[in-house]
A and B are shown apart, each in its own frame.
Chain A
Amino acid sequence: MKPNVALAISIACAAVAVGIVSLDLAFTLTSALEVREEGEWATIQSDPYSETSSRPRSFVGPGCAVNDLRIRIDNNRPIDANVDVLVRYTSTRGAATTILEETWNLEPFAERNFEFKVPDSAFPAATSADPNPQVSVEVFLAAQYPFGTCVVRGP
């Protein structure tokens, strides 16, 4: 094989590989767990999300000082996307309570979000053993794959 032909093939293969990676990253589902701080939404955790991913990604967010939360999903792809969304909270001394369990159908380049709070009733009374009761909020995208969690401090 002529060296120049080999070089041309090499450059072409590398360019197409970089192009595939760039396009895939650009056209993807992104999701974010956000908290409202001083009137603005700040991201606790965000992730590129693959609908066909078989490897769940689990993120633990930092503790939230306030209780205004939002899960936001952006479909940056030119095709429809269906995402199973499950949001639940669990106190340190109680069973899990589901806030939202739906399948979201997102049109191409559409965004959808869900704002929620953990009700005061979810927080158990403070005791000497547990003076600062907390509630863990978990967000799942697609089956049991945990996307993000955060801990909400009591009122």
Chain B
Amino acid sequence: MTSERTLQGALTFLGFAISILAIGYFAGSYIPDISPWSQLASLALLSLAFAYLGVFLKETTIGQPFFEGPRLRWLRPPVVLYLLALIGAIWAEIVFFGIDDMPRALKILISLILGIGLIVVVARRKGGAKEASPDSPARRV
């Protein structure tokens, strides 16, 4: 049973690896040849696509860990997709800094607003989720 699960996990991992390599090859082949604004838009959209695909897979059977065992339980398809979304977003940020049409100060300002805004939004959502959990002190009245 364990070996069968390992084989299933390995094949699923291989499927993901092949698909991700294909997408990476597409990105590496064509994205450098297009204009910077198109690069930025396509990288941002691909990052969102990966992130939302991870959200979808989290609720499915494919969202289970690839392999059994305590050391590799973290390696799940949603985690891989979130990491790819992260890489895409960082690549988009680097492309954004390389755009000549915009003043540098404005690029820095936009990036800071985006980064700090992201941190604040996530922190507030986490705080809200904590308050709503059954173990939170606010609920134990």
Interface residues, chain A, CB within 8 Å of chain B?
1, 3-4, 6-7, 9-11, 13-14, 16-18, 20-21, 24-25, 28, 48, 50, 52-55
Please, which residues of chain A bring their CB within 8 A of the CB of B56? 3-4, 6-7, 10
Task: Offer 28 A-B interface pairs, CB within 8 angstroms, sorted by A.
Answer: A1-B55, A3-B55, A3-B56, A6-B55, A7-B53, A9-B48, A9-B49, A9-B52, A10-B49, A10-B51, A14-B45, A14-B46, A14-B49, A16-B45, A17-B41, A17-B43, A20-B41, A20-B42, A21-B30, A21-B38, A24-B34, A24-B35, A28-B35, A50-B35, A50-B36, A52-B101, A53-B35, A54-B100
Best-buried of A4, A17, A53, A54 by chain B (most CB within 10 Å) = A17
Contact of B53 among A4, A10, A50, A55 (CB under 8 A): A10
A55 to B41, CA, bound (A): 19
Contact B49 A25 (CB under 8 A): no
Contact A21 B49 (CB under 8 A): no
Contact B46 A17 (CB under 8 A): yes
Interface size class of B (residues with CB under 8 A): 20 to 34
Contact of A21 among B31, B52, B55, B58 (CB under 8 A): B31
Please, which residues of chain B bring their CB within 8 A of the CB of A1? 55
Please, which residues of chain B bring their CB within 8 A of the CB of A48? 33-34
Contact of A25 among B30, B45, B52, B101 (CB under 8 A): B30
Interface residues, chain B, CB within 8 Å of chain A?
30-31, 33-36, 38, 41-43, 45-46, 48-53, 55-56, 58-60, 98, 100-101
Contact A20 B38 (CB under 8 A): yes
Best-buried of A4, A11, A24, A55 by chain B (most CB within 10 Å) = A24
A49 nearest CB neighbor, chain B only:
B33
B44: min CB distance to chain A, Å: 8
Secondary structure call for the B interface: helix
Please, which residues of chain B bring their CB within 8 A of the CB of A18? 42
Please, which residues of chain A bring their CB within 8 A of the CB of B49? 9-11, 13-14, 17
Best-buried of A1, A11, A21 by chain B (most CB within 10 Å) = A21
Contact A25 B46 (CB under 8 A): no
Please, which residues of chain A bring their CB within 8 A of the CB of B46? 13-14, 17
The 7 closest A-B pairs by CB, nearest first: A17-B45, A10-B52, A24-B34, A13-B49, A14-B49, A6-B55, A24-B38
Please, which residues of chain A bring their CB within 8 A of the CB of B52? 6-7, 9-10, 13
A18 to B53, CA, bound (A): 16
B128: min CB distance to chain A, Å: 15
Given A9-B48, A13-B46, A17-B42, check contact A52 B35 (CB 8 Å).
yes
Q: A10-B50, A17-B45 are in contact. List 17 more A-B contacts (CB 8 A).
A: A1-B55, A4-B56, A7-B52, A9-B49, A9-B52, A10-B48, A10-B51, A14-B49, A17-B42, A17-B43, A17-B49, A20-B34, A20-B41, A21-B42, A24-B34, A52-B36, A53-B35
